[in-house]
Structure 1
């Protein structure tokens, strides 16, 4: 129990509190989605950049130095952005630099292009990168700025087209069509990126809420189990020690009461230890269980016998401990409520992997259904304790007496 509580507390300590910085675990889906979007953008932009490059290289041979400067000013940040998208580092900064540099280069392009209407009809290489600039903005900026970029860049492109075409009437219709197409495509790109990121954020939020709910439920379950175990411990050890002390008259009885009190205090002190009160899983023989039951009878000052039947088998230590504690509680109930009349204990080995302990008395019996919810002597110390080790406990009581049957089997 204590080990489970420590594990739950350790797991709980690793769950970020509300408002804390996002961790890799919390934003796993969002980070993975960002990586996928960056790679997809890199592939698409690389294809468009290659197409633009086939137009740019021949034009550089007949262009002046200014065009060469603009070319390198655009392509160097573009290549850096593609590399950052592939390696997954510095993507936001590189994309933001390219998005800004490209818009500036696109805005000043008509000032240096002297090809006029002929140049506009041939589609300069820089016009091929319009949607690349929008995709870069999607990787670098907040959503509102992304949409602003998707609207501004096409109009800057259209303005450049009209300036190159000297605002000729024949260019207006073509330019309007191209600007509309680029505008729609840019908005679609931004919308897809926003949608994928929103879905990923929703998955991360749902995962965070699920983990938090599970941790809260686990912590509540652990607290309840610890409360039950502590109540059972108090009932088994402390109350038994107090009853023994009250009934102690001889020196021997007083010594036994002191020993029981010492054991109760030790178990209380060790409740939070890593080795919980149920003990280890080292195999225990039937003879050891019988010896513990006889010791319990001696401590309570009861004149009764423990009968051992069957071939001695070995069972896990925690199971043996639970059996002994449950049987001790049954014995204590028989002593307290039936004055120990006809008390008899039978421990039977049902093979190499099973055991049965029967505690019976000939007292007046009781009504199991009439026991209050706050009485833990039977519910926690017997029924719940056996259930905790995958065993069973059956209580039959009538006017002729009470029989408590405790069983456990490895099968």
Structure 2
């Protein structure tokens, strides 16, 4: 098949990607995937929470410094420094490791910060020989949420709840050791206030981590379903090809052989061609876990038209350069990201008073595939889209980032439509 005059060459593919990077008015929201860069949603949320909580520890140290200095007047030298180091010393470390270390390291440091915070509160009754009349509450009591948030990062919810109860009780006892005139009723009140406030922080953190894990699970399920569909399509195509070979080659050769009364050179050549074709099938030249150009295009077309049959679908292939071998899991990932782009357009690109034109163009060349979805709808400002917006960051770009050899690009401007580009370059 020959390419049309609008078909880009392999060199043009590189030029197009360079334009995505350098264009003034188009701002790319993209991430090229790779084994070293693939990161789940749960890991990203854990990393961001760790950085936030670690920086919060630094901010608390600055804000509470006047009260820390004031309350240190009533204790022996060295106790205040020990308490501050135990309570807040691990939080800067947590902020640093959250920037680039593994999930296990972040959880380990968070667990150390939580346990160290408990140890800091345990030093309060030892430091104060008697309550003081100048303090309304000990400073660690007011920042108990830091220890609870660290526990939420480090451990599962049941253990975090146990930590909350223990920490709230210890904070109430520490408060009673500092504040004069404490009673049993005030002790219960201190415990209730600390536990109630920290429970809200614990719930928010736990819910964020659970939601991120659920997004990862749903993404894996969707990819497996798409891969299963692609694999079934590939198997059906192989069965049809084999059935055609049996009918057109094997049976026709046997029929000619039964009719020929004498040896025929033509019959020998036909038989040899049939044997060669059977050897190709036996050799598995087309593996069931890979799609060729035709199967990949058909699979992507089905994914788009399942969402909206009205989307115009165009396929372009370079003659002699369309030897695509696309893994079915990669095909499923691309199809899922493409379907989400179509759904986003249907939800958000509507323009009152006119119809929105939507097109998908698939280009196969040099062992790779490029899928471009365009609409001329409302468009949007990329700078105003939150970084954790699931439609773009997870469902489209997140999928492509985790696909070896893949890349995802989203371009848009208000009033100028949206273009989503998905590229796979043989990394599977």
Q: TM-score, normalised by structure 1?
A: 0.55
The answer to whether residue 253 in structure 2 is matched with residue 238 in structure 1 is no
Taking the TM superposition and a 5 Å limit, the aligned residue runs for 1:94-113 are 94-113=109-128
- The alpha-carbon distance between structure 1 residues 81 and 58, as it changes in their structure 2 partners (threshold 3 A), is farther
CA distance in 2, matches of 1:128, 1:275: 66
The answer to whether residue 152 in structure 2 is matched with residue 138 in structure 1 is yes
Does the Cα contact within 8 Å between 1:52 and 1:128 map onto a contact in 2? no
The answer to whether residue 278 in structure 2 is matched with residue 265 in structure 1 is no
The alpha carbon displacement at 1:250 in A equals: 4.3
CA distance in 2, matches of 1:317, 1:123: 78
CA distance in 2, matches of 1:219, 1:229: 15
CA distance in 2, matches of 1:41, 1:28: 20
The alpha carbon displacement at 1:172 in A equals: 4.0
Q: What does residue 366 of structure 2 align with? A: none
The answer to whether residue 266 in structure 2 is matched with residue 256 in structure 1 is yes
Q: What does residue 198 of structure 1 align with? A: 210
The alpha carbon displacement at 1:56 in A equals: 2.2
Deviations 1:297-356 (A, max 9, x none): xxxxxxxxxxxxxxxxxx9699xxxxxxxxxxxxxxxxxxxxxxxxxxxxxxxxxxxxxx
Taking the TM superposition and a 5 Å limit, the aligned residue runs for 1:50-129 are 50-57=62-69, 59-60=71-72, 63-89=76-102, 90-114=105-129, 116-118=131-133, 121-129=135-143
Q: What does residue 41 of structure 1 align with? A: 53
Q: What does residue 324 of structure 1 align with? A: none
Does the Cα contact within 8 Å between 1:49 and 1:129 map onto a contact in 2? no
- The alpha-carbon distance between structure 1 residues 24 and 33, as it changes in their structure 2 partners (threshold 3 A), is farther
Q: What does residue 371 of structure 1 align with? A: none
Does the Cα contact within 8 Å between 1:53 and 1:125 map onto a contact in 2? no
Q: What does residue 40 of structure 2 align with? A: 28
Deviates more, 1:92-101 or 1:124-133: 124-133
The alpha carbon displacement at 1:261 in A equals: 0.7
Taking the TM superposition and a 5 Å limit, the aligned residue runs for 1:290-309 are none
Structure 2 residue matching 1:117: 3-state secondary structure: coil
- What are the ranges of 5 or more consecutive residues in structure 2 without an aligned counterpart? 1-34, 294-317, 322-428
Deviations 1:171-204 (A, max 9, x none): 844x544432321121111111221222222211
Tell me how many residue pairs correspond in the alignment: 255
Deviations 1:373-410 (A, max 9, x none): xxxxxxxxxxxxxxxxxxxxxxxxxxxxxxxxxxxxxx
Does the Cα contact within 8 Å between 1:26 and 1:208 map onto a contact in 2? no
- Structure ID, larger Rg: 1
- The alpha-carbon distance between structure 1 residues 176 and 77, as it changes in their structure 2 partners (threshold 3 A), is same
Return the structure number with greater helix share: 1
- The alpha-carbon distance between structure 1 residues 163 and 273, as it changes in their structure 2 partners (threshold 3 A), is closer
Deviations 1:49-95 (A, max 9, x none): 32223322455577412333333333322332333334455321222
Does the Cα contact within 8 Å between 2:54 and 2:93 map onto a contact in 1? no
Does the Cα contact within 8 Å between 1:48 and 1:128 map onto a contact in 2? no
The alpha carbon displacement at 1:116 in A equals: 1.5
Q: TM-score, normalised by structure 2?
A: 0.53
Match 1:182 to one of 191, 194, 217: 194
CA distance in 1, matches of 2:286, 2:125: 80
Q: What does residue 235 of structure 2 align with? A: 223
Taking the TM superposition and a 5 Å limit, the aligned residue runs for 1:365-376 are none
Higher relative contact order (CA 8 A, sep 6+): 2
Does the Cα contact within 8 Å between 1:33 and 1:197 map onto a contact in 2? yes
- The alpha-carbon distance between structure 1 residues 202 and 26, as it changes in their structure 2 partners (threshold 3 A), is farther
The answer to whether residue 210 in structure 2 is matched with residue 211 in structure 1 is no
Deviations 1:154-184 (A, max 9, x none): 1211112223345544x844x5444323211
Taking the TM superposition and a 5 Å limit, the aligned residue runs for 1:150-161 are 150-161=164-175
